[in-house]
Structure 1
Amino acid sequence: MAKSSGNPLITGSGLWQRSPERVLFENLSFGLNSGDRIGLIGHNGCGKSTFLNILAGRDEPSEGSVSVSRAAVVSCVEQHVPRELLELTLAEAVRDALPADKRDWMDWKVDVILPEMGFEPHQSGVLCKDLSGGQMTRLMLARALMIEPNLLLLDEPSNHLDLPTILWLESFLKSWNGSFLMISHDVTLLDAVTNRSWIMQDRKLHAFDLPCTKALEEHEILTQARIARREAEEKEIKRVEASAKRIAEWGRTFDNEDLSRKAKSMEKMVDRMKDDQTDAVEAYPWNLSIAGEPIQADRLVQLKELEVTPPAADVFLYKVDDIAVRPGDRIAVMGANGTGKSSLLRCCWEKRKSEDGDIRVHPRCQIAFYDQTLQQLPGEANLVEGMVSVGEALNVDLRVADCEKTIISAGFKYNQLQQKISQLSGGERARLLLVSLSQVQANLMMLDEPTNHLDLYGRNELSNQLQSFNGSFLLVSHDRHLVEATCNRFWLVLNGRLQEVNDVDAAYELIAKDQVKPVKTTIDDYGSMEDAGDEEGASVTENSSEEDMLERLIELEELMAADLARRPNRQSPHLQAKWKDEIALIHEQLELTG
């Protein structure tokens, strides 16, 4: 493997890792040097996180050794906040990252690092369990930086982040002065921040002094050369085997010892050729074909005076004045989490047969909907039954035999056909739902975060299919590579309204400029009630002016709406209860109660 010119921080030699089912990787030797900004790439299940944990010292390899330089100060950025931190405040969780013997006299670092991660002073008292996904990523970075590392190990830091937070993460990594190794499936992020790529495939580590896209292109060239070389070797092996067989038959027929000896010599040659044969390239277990049909119509869907609300909540998010989806449209719905992008798609889906007039669908338009929760697939059904049920929900009759062929062609094994859907991984369920919807021959697909469970190769496969899709689609995604490669219209949900922008760069610019004020969540965030009146947006007191109370009432209603718009498991019922109490108090003081 090629090595960069910096001083070595971590080196590995003869690394093997075996799981109970298979070998994850074998005989890896590598060097991670100062100045390296490495993207670790590979399909789900190939062993990337296991490899990262071995570098971090959390796991031991089955064989081989890892050496960490004395000059290396290594810190990990985990995917998820550890459970034991959830009940701590933000400041306490960051302070916890310090060594126990330094927490008392070095906790001043907390006040330094939190602003660098984009937190406001009043947020230091917010409980970790009440942070958004983006804030949790910033928390994990803050914890990692407390020991002043020169090497960061990041395990999918952009996973499930919204676009504004991904842009912030990209800016942070660009300005980070140290080295890092980052697992990610985000091609755009990797291209922007890395200078090397390690591709894990076929139990090997393939190193390139190139960012992601160029590395994948170079790797594909080398892979095709390997395939061609192996095919030539197999052809030659078969030729020599056939010759040895013929000569052995002649030796027996004519009782010729010379021919028999030559045949045995050729058989030994075949054994040596097989031992020296180029390693086979394992096919990526992902194959997808999304079929769609165009429709001759002026418009497929017309949205007019549509009030967008989140599922199972009577909360108004924004109104869509008048906008249409036309044949050939490939529309990206963009914006931060919680603004109502997914709610827009769900409203369109749930009201597609409504006669209210706010959503009008062309009578011949067949719509397919990809729900990011994957709830369209019944967990107790097997794979074939799951595909059939998706078709039934769309009034499409799918034959069992056709479903079996389609599922196997999508990379599933025959013995998986009777497996329960609940036993599949997130990536496998996402693949099954996509291939199920592909059988519908839809005129319009509505895709809500389809890449959430997909690795880099699955995302590329989806991108290729959407580029050749004959119908139209609405796509909610924070994957910039997917959006840029497939979409020709861009809807942006920003500041409580839906607007269309001319191109994707204009959308990025508006999102980057939108500086959302940090959420002030509880009275405790502002200190005592006596001090609260001096803080912007603080809780009201009996001496607050009517204008202050009205301003606070608006802020509380926005907080409530934003929290209710989140997924149920991410909402904060105890905060909602406090907000309701404060809203009731303001109503009473303003004599708004009836």
Structure 2
Amino acid sequence: MTLIDIQSLGVTLGETLFTDLTLTIAKGDRIGLVAANGRGKSTLLGCIAGSIDPTQGEITRGRGLRIGHVGQHPMPGDFDLTLRDRVLHALPPDRAGEEAWRADVVLDDLQVPEELHHRRLSELSGGWQRTAMLAAAWVAEPDLLLLDEPTNHLDLHRIGLLQGWLAALPRSVPIVVTSHDRAFLDAVTNRTLFLRASDSRSFALPYTRARAALEESDAADARRFANDLNKANQLRRQAAKLKNIGINSGSDLLITKTKQLGARADRIEAAARPAHAERTAGEIRLAGSGSHARALVALEEVEVTTPDGRPLYRTGRMWIAPGDRVVLLGGNGTGKTQLVRLIHAATSEDIAGIRCASSIGLGYSDQHLSQLSPADTPMTAITARFDVGDSRARAMLAGAGVDIRLQDTKIAALSGGQRARLAMLILRLQQPNFYLLDEPTNHLDIDGQEALEEELARQDAACLLVSHDRQFLRAVGTRFWQITGRRLVEVDDPKRFLAGELAP
């Protein structure tokens, strides 16, 4: 049964995000929505939810259809609410009193600890804020669920729980989900829509298999386009020969035939459709400056604590040598970011138990991209720190995926993906030999993640990174440290942790 029927939909906001999109959403559909950053995924979800008006086309919704929409960020007024009250506010006012039990049920289903129910959202981590938004979207049991980057800020354990929760929802409830987590898309979807400015493609397959089908389809389009152009060129060559013969012989028949061949060539060229060329979001290229130190960072029984001083774990004796790509594993709240911050501080000041080589050149990026000043523009962020000149700075920004129109815009106005690419460009220009990366893929699209994977694997520079993207950490990591209880231990393989066999 079709719940949503989308016909010839298009949205133009300064530039065309997508046109002529046709899609149906029926019961049982679990649709993964894939596109590069800034290409219209959130806009399409807003159109389906009814909060954004399309530029063209129509959306027909089933009578009385109730839609649950989880955006990427809480609304400003949400932060003063407790987690439970945020969920209750999603119920109609006439039901919130008598059906308050629904909030408790959905929070229990999502395994939210009871001690968090009455904490304000402003006091909670991004992961718990997203969980509250998800619970609020589901508490009234909508007929359709729209999820915009639901895994952002969730640790691996919570991502696994989210996958299980989505699998347990009634199959009659369709889901449309955007995500840059490829393993998550493979686990929760049965259809994939690749959103494009034109000629969007849909496949009745989860992400990895759908992408292979898309690449095959695009390759076939490229071959067809080349063949069509070749036919048109052959006809024009024949027409040119006949024209010369016709002029020399004075044959009107040959002149007419020449015009017919030219007209056929024009029709073939006009009908030929070039293969899709993705408007790349720019390459991410990192460059290490190299180091001959035996150990860039050494840890000697460092005590890691919460910001208010409560002990979390001790590191034991650990080290990171040139070329090591160490992935730090652990659940939310276990202290991964705290260790990253300690090592960051130790590169410029004395921290007990942490030794950094004198040759260390640090490249640092945290999960909130706080190393970027919101008041700067991308241009000032580059030209104030690096002696590259205005013209080269603009070229580098464009190559990194920051459009020329955005280069003099305040960083605060950029999307998360655009800020992430700017942060990666700054890292590149610093030429570090040691990267400290806390959730570097949080806002990167799939193309950006794959480019970063390739660059990190190619460089000799060492890194310590935190990531909840399973495919990314498998591709990048050469060593794995896991926070287990009160200790930091090295594990040979992350498989058991990723499968949920080891406690986070």
Report the TM-score when normalising by structure 1.
0.74
The 1-side partners of 2:380 and 2:141 are apart by 53
Structure 2 equivalent of residue 290 of structure 1: 286
Deviations 1:283-310 (A, max 9, x none): 3222222233664553222122434467
Amino acid at match of 1:33: A
Superposed counterparts of 1:175-214, under 5 Å: 175-177=168-170, 178-214=173-209
Task: Using the TM superposition, give the Cα deviation of residue 482 of structure 1 relative to its aligned residue in structure 2, in angstroms.
Answer: 0.6
Q: Is 1:147 equivalent to 2:179 in the alignment?
A: no
Superposed counterparts of 1:195-594, under 5 Å: 195-241=190-236, 257-258=252-253, 260-283=255-278, 284-292=280-288, 295-308=291-304, 318-352=313-347, 354=349, 358-377=353-372, 383=378, 386-387=381-382, 406-412=396-402, 421=411, 424-508=414-498, 513-514=503-504
Q: Counterpart of 2:193 in 1: which secondary structure? A: strand
The 2-side partners of 1:41 and 1:114 are apart by 29
Q: Is 1:68 equivalent to 2:69 in the alignment?
A: no
Q: Counterpart of 2:80 in 1: which secondary structure? A: coil
The 1-side partners of 2:466 and 2:34 are apart by 24
Superposed counterparts of 1:29-178, under 5 Å: 29-70=22-63, 73-120=66-113, 123-177=116-170, 178=173
Structure 2 equivalent of residue 518 of structure 1: none
Is contact 1:501-1:507 (8 Å) kept? Answer: no
Task: Using the TM superposition, give the Cα deviation of residue 259 of structure 1 relative to its aligned residue in structure 2, in angstroms.
Answer: 5.1
Amino acid at match of 2:463: F
The 2-side partners of 1:108 and 1:359 are apart by 50
Distance change (3 Å), C-alpha of 1:342 and 1:120: closer
The 2-side partners of 1:349 and 1:105 are apart by 51
Distance change (3 Å), C-alpha of 1:247 and 1:203: same
Is contact 2:109-2:165 (8 Å) kept? Answer: no
The 2-side partners of 1:368 and 1:477 are apart by 16
The 2-side partners of 1:148 and 1:513 are apart by 31
Task: Using the TM superposition, give the Cα deviation of residue 191 of structure 1 relative to its aligned residue in structure 2, in angstroms.
Answer: 1.2
Deviations 1:530-553 (A, max 9, x none): xxxxxxxxxxxxxxxxxxxxxxxx
Amino acid at match of 2:437: L
Task: Using the TM superposition, give the Cα deviation of residue 504 of structure 1 relative to its aligned residue in structure 2, in angstroms.
Answer: 0.9
Q: Counterpart of 1:436 in 2: which secondary structure? A: helix
Task: Using the TM superposition, give the Cα deviation of residue 53 of structure 1 relative to its aligned residue in structure 2, in angstroms.
Answer: 2.2
Gap regions ≥5 residues in structure 2: none
Is contact 2:229-2:268 (8 Å) kept? Answer: no
Deviations 1:503-560 (A, max 9, x none): 212334678635xxxxxxxxxxxxxxxxxxxxxxxxxxxxxxxxxxxxxxxxxxxxxx
Task: Using the TM superposition, give the Cα deviation of residue 104 of structure 1 relative to its aligned residue in structure 2, in angstroms.
Answer: 4.2
Is contact 1:288-1:462 (8 Å) kept? Answer: yes
Is contact 1:90-1:128 (8 Å) kept? Answer: yes
Task: Using the TM superposition, give the Cα deviation of residue 499 of structure 1 relative to its aligned residue in structure 2, in angstroms.
Answer: 2.5
Q: Counterpart of 2:195 in 1: which secondary structure? A: strand
Task: Using the TM superposition, give the Cα deviation of residue 194 of structure 1 relative to its aligned residue in structure 2, in angstroms.
Answer: 1.6
The 1-side partners of 2:236 and 2:394 are apart by 38
The 2-side partners of 1:407 and 1:301 are apart by 32
Amino acid at match of 2:460: N
Distance change (3 Å), C-alpha of 1:75 and 1:319: same
The 2-side partners of 1:308 and 1:389 are apart by 35
Task: Using the TM superposition, give the Cα deviation of residue 187 of structure 1 relative to its aligned residue in structure 2, in angstroms.
Answer: 0.8
Higher RCO (CA < 8 A, seq sep 6+)? 2
Amino acid at match of 2:49: A
Amino acid at match of 2:166: L
The 2-side partners of 1:78 and 1:426 are apart by 13
The sequence identity of aligned pairs, in percent, is: 33
Structure 1 equivalent of residue 17 of structure 2: 24
Q: Counterpart of 1:453 in 2: which secondary structure? A: coil
Distance change (3 Å), C-alpha of 1:417 and 1:122: closer
Q: Counterpart of 1:229 in 2: which secondary structure? A: helix
Distance change (3 Å), C-alpha of 1:22 and 1:112: same
Structure 2 equivalent of residue 554 of structure 1: none
Amino acid at match of 2:8: G
Task: Using the TM superposition, give the Cα deviation of residue 365 of structure 1 relative to its aligned residue in structure 2, in angstroms.
Answer: 4.0
Instruction: Report how many aligned residue pairs link the two structures.
Output: 501
Is contact 2:37-2:418 (8 Å) kept? Answer: no
Is contact 2:299-2:316 (8 Å) kept? Answer: yes
Distance change (3 Å), C-alpha of 1:373 and 1:62: closer
Is contact 2:496-2:502 (8 Å) kept? Answer: no
Gap regions ≥5 residues in structure 1: 1-6, 392-396, 515-594
Deviations 1:83-134 (A, max 9, x none): 3444344444333323344344433433433322324556544444444333
The 1-side partners of 2:122 and 2:136 are apart by 16
Deviations 1:360-397 (A, max 9, x none): 33344433223444344455666465345555xxxxx7
The 1-side partners of 2:284 and 2:166 are apart by 33
RMSD: 3.4
The 1-side partners of 2:391 and 2:328 are apart by 37
Q: Counterpart of 1:513 in 2: which secondary structure? A: coil
Task: Using the TM superposition, give the Cα deviation of residue 496 of structure 1 relative to its aligned residue in structure 2, in angstroms.
Answer: 4.7
Q: Counterpart of 1:198 in 2: which secondary structure? A: strand
Task: Using the TM superposition, give the Cα deviation of residue 279 of structure 1 relative to its aligned residue in structure 2, in angstroms.
Answer: 4.0
The 1-side partners of 2:185 and 2:115 are apart by 33
Distance change (3 Å), C-alpha of 1:54 and 1:321: same
Amino acid at match of 1:492: Q
Is contact 2:293-2:359 (8 Å) kept? Answer: no
